[in-house]
Structure formats: C-alpha cells, structure tokens
Structure 1
Amino acid sequence: MQEKKGDMASNNNNSSTKNPKKANLLDHHSIKHILDEYVSEIVTSRGYVEDVRMSNVRLLMGSIIIIIALVAQFYPKKFPENRDFLIVCILLYILFNGLLQLIIYTKEKNAILFTHPPEGSFNSTGLVVSSKLPRFSDLYTLSVASADPKSKAAKDPVEFTKSVTQWFTTDGILVEGLFWKDVEGLINDYAREPKKNK
C-alpha cells in the first residue's frame, strides 16, 4: 500500500515538474543537491511545514557582514585617516563571521531541512532532516531526528545509508519512485519509533 502511495506521489510530482531530475554522476555535489532537494519535497508533502528561522538568522548575519564590508570600503575618509575606523570594521567583520560559522557548525551541521510539526499532530516537535554524501563515496546517509531532542515528545533518530547507484540511471536521471519509497519508509520508521525509557 505504501509503495502505491509513493508511486502515486512521485507520479504527481513528475507531472508538476515535467523535467526529470538529472545529476552529473561524476560530481558528488550535484548528486547530493538533487537528492537533498527531493528529500525536502517528500517531507513537506507529508504535511511538515519548513521552519525557516535558522535560514533567516543566517541571512541576517550575512547581511550584517556585507554591510560592515561596504561601510569600510566606502567610508569617506582615506587611509591613514580612517585607520581606527577600519580596525573596528575588521574586528566586527571577524566577530560576525565567527558567529555565523559557529551557528552553522553547532546548529545546522548536516541539516538540509528543519520543520514545524504537522498541523493537527499531537507531536509538539518538528523534524531535522540531515544528509551526508562523503567525497569519493557512493553511500548517501539520510537521518530524521526531532528538532527539539530534549522535548518529551522527541523520538529516537532514525537513518539509512544506501548507495546512490540504487536511485540513478546510467544517464544520471533520478528514479524518483524508488527514492520516494525509501525516504517515505524512513519517515514512517521515525513516526512509529517508540521513545526509550530512561
């Protein structure tokens, strides 16, 4: 029954996108990008709404960094008159860049999608969907975990590791139905995974 749902969903998705998803099989970034995009589509099609707060924080930090650089570049006084001002700008630039990297390293890690809980769900936490595709490897790891692991509603994370060769044709076209089935199975595993008693 799940297979039929996955196939139907992938057929609906195919008709809306019209073009098959194609990757350069010699470029692992291209492969990971296509898989990650499609994972996001599958998760949001299950009723999970993307939580964009983390993206907004990154955009805000990036904007502040750009503004600091522009102010330093176009400050009306010339060097050496603006030396102290430039030192302050450089220190602020380093500080905000460091904060941005810290957020990416501690909060995002390998995350490709943060979500809110589905509407009408008893679950009070959303999901964090993460993926890995190491360089020079064909093994793609996808994991689903709670967005708030300390919550009482949080469930144990689940993951799978499979070769990308299972989902792509020799021309680099993603076989969406097969990939949909695997991702949907992982989400279902997470949904029914009981929380361990401590």
Structure 2
Amino acid sequence: MASNSTTKNPKKANLLDPHSIKHLLDESVTEVVKSKGYPEDVKLSNLRLLIGTVIIGIALLAQFYNKKFPENRNFLIGCIISYIAFNVLLHLISYTKEKNAILFTYPPADSFSSTGLIVSSKLPRFSDMYTLIIASADPKSISAKKPVHFTKSVTKWFTKDGELVEGLFWKDVDRLIDDYNSDRKNK
C-alpha cells in the first residue's frame, strides 16, 4: 500500500531546509500512527482555535467600537487586558501541554489501554539527527507505558534528490510503536 503511493507521488523535501524535512517526517509519522489504529485527539487543537477566535474577537471589538478614543478609554483598557490574558493563556497551553508534540491520540478501539499517545519530534537546528518520542497521553494512568524514542540521521530516509524513502521511515516508526506497545526497554 505504501509502495504504490511512493511510486505515484513521492514525498519530497528541500534538503537545505530543516523545517521542510521535519514537516515531511512529522506528517509521515502521523500517517503511520493513524494507520496503526490510533484515532487523533483534536481537543487541544480545538481549544487553541477557540482561544484564538476569542482573541481576534477582542481585537475587532477594540478596533470597531462605535465610540471614539477619549470616550471609550475604559473599554479599550478592558480589551487590552483581556487580549493579553488570553494570549498568555494560549502560550501557557502551548508551553505546558503541547511542547514538541506533533500528535495526540486516543487509544485504539480494540485496545484494553485507557490512554492514548503523545508523539513528539525534534530536529535541532544545524543537525541532521531526528528524534521521535512516543509517550503515554496520561503518564499517571495505570495503563501508561514507559516512553520510547529513537534518534537517527535524516540522511537514512532521504535520497540525494530529497525524496523520502517511505518504506524505510515507516518501518522505523512502526518498530518504535511496537516497542512502545510491547514495553521493551532496549531503545
């Protein structure tokens, strides 16, 4: 299945742009995890979108309020304080909950586990070493397992033309998910 999509539309990245490489790898990781039966949990994304919408609404209210400046001073101060408070809340959510996460999931439907996954990745600046981490979405749960990770050079998965060799990458991600599920400690 993956080989047919590779031959039809190969996934390419600009090898001189680490953001392009990380984005392509992260998208592929998401595909692999979803193909293993883990449905995506979008609650946090939806919360961030809601807060962003509120922030935009506050800015629009402040801009288009029907009174001019001296008369609407208190209203503008309230808008500014609200705008700052919601932005701080948005950044706190990103800093404390998301971190380097690229995907939050629910547990698979046929699983006895009560916790999903948090899939995180890192590709440090000026480095070719990509780190993928799979951890429990609820580390305090009784069904939570120890996080697993691997770190490999991105040169292992790309051709010199920037095409992702999906079969190799999928195999590595698949193995990491299996390591997490079997709770092996050799990673």
Deviations 1:46-89 (A, max 9, x none): 00000010111110011000100111111111112211111110
Offset, 1:12: 4.8
- Is the CA contact 1:10–1:177 (under 8 Å) kept in the aligned structure 2? yes
Return the alpha-carbon distance in structure 2 between the equivalents of residues 181 and 120 of structure 1.
22
Aligned to 1:180: 170
Distance across 2 between alignment mates of 1:120 and 1:186:
20
Q: CA deviation at 1:13?
A: 4.3
User: Are 1:24 and 2:14 counterparts?
Assistant: yes
Structure 1 runs, 4 residues or longer, greater than 3 Å off: 12-15
- Determine the structure 1 residue equivalent to 2:98: 108
Hey, what does 1:147 align to over in structure 2? 137
Partners of 1:48 and 1:126 within 8 A in 2: yes
Structure 2's unaligned 5+ residue stretches are: none
Q: What residue number does 2:30 align with? A: 40
Listed as ranges, the gaps of 5+ residues in structure 1 are 1-8
Which SS does the other structure have where 1:112 is aligned?
Answer: strand
Give the alignment's Cα RMSD to 1 decimal.
Answer: 1.3
Q: Which amino acid aligns with 2:127?
A: S
User: Which of 67, 70, 93 is 2:60 aligned to?
Assistant: 70
Matched letter for residue 56 of structure 1? N
Q: 2:3 matched to 1:11?
A: yes
Give the aligned residue type for 1:142: L
Q: What is the distance in 2 between the residues matched to 1:12 and 1:118?
A: 26
Counterparts of 2:3 and 2:173 in 1: how far apart (Å)?
Answer: 16
User: Given the alignment of the two structures, is residue 123 of structure 1 paired with residue 113 of structure 2, yes or no?
Assistant: yes
How far residue 182 of structure 1 moved from its aligned partner, in angstroms, is 0.4
What's the counterpart of residue 3 of structure 1?
Answer: none
Identity %: 71
Preserved contact between residue 111 and residue 128 of structure 1 (Cα < 8 Å): yes
Instruction: Give secondary structure in 1 for the equivalent of 2:71.
Output: coil
Q: What TM-score, normalized to structure 2?
A: 0.95
- Cα deviation for residue 136 of structure 1 reads 0.8
- The answer to whether the 8 A contact 1:155-1:194 is kept is no
Residue of structure 1 in register with 2:156 after alignment:
166
Output the amino acid matched with 2:2. Answer: S
- Between the aligned partners of 2:4 and 2:142, the Cα distance in structure 1 is 36
> Match for residue 86 of structure 2?
96
Identify the residue that residue 5 of structure 1 maps to in structure 2: none
Aligned residues: 185
| C-alpha separation in 2, matches of 1:75 and 1:13 | 53
